[in-house]
Amino acid sequence: MDNYIEVLKKYALFNGRAGRKEYWMFTLVNVLIMLGFNFLSFALDSTFIQVLGIVYLLAVLVPSLAVYVRRLHDTNHSAWWILLGLIPIVGSIILLIFLVTDSQAGDNIYGTNPKGVPVPQIQASL
């Protein structure tokens, strides 16, 4: 739940990096909340709850895009890679691979590693 709150605090922050845990926990909480809205809407046959679900989706649209962009930055990919999702099936699969890939070690052009993992040092032996 802390990761969910952290993403909401960074509401429209599109620069920097977001680790896998931050992205996936935010996504999981969003899915669970939407399942709750859908269940209540179906069980109570309530249009009001459906409207609340739509309002919630609109409220988390910007933070969802922001954490998506920061997750791509963490794997050293530009935000423009989101457009790859416009390619049916193949684009979505490639983006999913980017999202599950581990963070790039050390710093990259988008910022420091959110896990604080240093760049591996290669030692020369003489």
pLDDT of 105: 83
Q: Can you give the pLDDT of all 126 residues of the chain as single tens digits?
A: 888 999 999 988 899 999 899 999 999 999 999 999 999 999 998 899 999 999 999 999 999 999 999 999 999 999 999 999 999 999 999 999 999 998 888 888 888 888 776 655 555 555
Neighbours of 70 (CB within 10 A): 24
- From CA 64, how far away is CA 71, in angstroms rounded? 11
Q: What is the 3-state secondary structure (H, E, C) of 2-66?
A: HHHHHHHHCCCCCCCCCCHHHHHHHHHHHHHHHHHHHHHHHHHCCHHHHHHHHHHHHHCHHHHHH
Asked if residue 92 lies in contact with residue 118, where contact means CB atoms within 8 angstroms, the answer is no
pLDDT of 73: 92
pLDDT of 125: 57
pLDDT of 123: 59
pLDDT of 30: 96
